[in-house]
Amino acid sequence: MRRKLAAGNWKMNGTGASLAELADLGERHADPAVDILICPPATLLSRAAEAVQGGAIAIGAQDCHAEAAGAHTGDLSAAMLKDAGASAVILGHSERRADHSESDAQVRAKAEAAFAEDLIAVICLGETLEQREAGETLKIVGDQLAASVPDSATAANTVIAYEPVWAIGTGKVPTLEQIGEVHNFLRTELVHRFGAEIADGIRLLYGGSVKPGNAGEIFAVANVDGALVGGASLKAADFSPIIETLENA
């Protein structure tokens, strides 16, 4: 059985005062039945890792460079993230793909760098509204899956997050049938590429305006193994009900 995962992406939000939310979340979920991952901004990584030390919450980063070191001003390597206390890293988020023109090849290289440092790569896929309306969703996410995920992916080092771009932070959510169609498709593609043993262990998350009010029905969809949550993960009071819903799914 795949262990469920509730992942929170704080994006460019949070200062030292936000660490109180981690303490609150840790108290609410001292012995959770699911994995919990919080990905704060890089400025908080080491402090966040210290804040949750000995507890059930894992800390991840929001991006890494594909190179181990070098003249890359402003970038952080996977080794640096691990040294700061991260155990995972989000890669290929649509905001990175759009704002920084990241290609599938770059995402793949970053994932390989993460693997080299024993970081879990949370690789994001998703279509735009125009692509959805043109009936291209499965082609887009299939192409992204094929090109962004390294051949060395395993259930231990890889999580796939399906996040339709048009649903991120908009309040719009695909129908349950649409979510199920994509997740079932991704599982099938993983089986074709990696074989059933590996593919059946890779967790597939849904992300895109997940909130306490809709989490239950989303988590009931086949092949949805958890969520990558944005804004609702910033406050323990908002994220905790999502975690509880996942625990009971």
Which domain does 81 fall in, by range?
5-247
- Burial class of residue 30, CB neighbours in 10 A (0-12, 13-18, 19+): exposed
The whole-number pLDDT of residue 231 equals 93
Average pLDDT over residues 29-36: 97
The whole-number pLDDT of residue 242 equals 98
Per-residue pLDDT for 145 more than 90?
yes
Per-residue model confidence as pLDDT tens digits over 48-83: 999 999 999 999 999 999 999 999 999 999 999 999
The whole-number pLDDT of residue 169 equals 82
The whole-number pLDDT of residue 172 equals 84
Average pLDDT over residues 2-7: 97
The whole-number pLDDT of residue 64 equals 98
The whole-number pLDDT of residue 1 equals 82
Q: How far apart are CA 105 and CA 107, in angstroms?
A: 5
99 confidence band (pLDDT: 50, 70, 90): very high
Q: What is the CATH number of the domain that holds 64?
A: 3.20.20.70
User: Which structure tokens are listed for 221?
Assistant: 């969809």
Number of domain units in the chain: 1
Helices (H), the chain: 19-28, 45-52, 78-83, 94-99, 104-116, 129-133, 137-148, 176-194, 196-199, 212-219, 236-247
Give the active site residues: 93, 163
Q: How far apart are CA 159 and CA 162, in angstroms?
A: 10
228: nearest Cα among 123, 107, 136, 106: 123
Per-residue model confidence as pLDDT tens digits over 112-137: 999 999 999 999 999 999 999 999 99
Q: How far apart are CA 126 and CA 170, in angstroms?
A: 15
Which residues, at least 6 apart from 130, have a Cβ–Cβ distance to it below 8 Å? none
The whole-number pLDDT of residue 28 equals 97
Task: Please check whether residue 217 is in contact with residue 227, taking contact to mean a CB–CB distance below 8 angstroms.
Answer: no
Average pLDDT, the chain: 97
Q: What is the pTM of this model?
A: 0.97
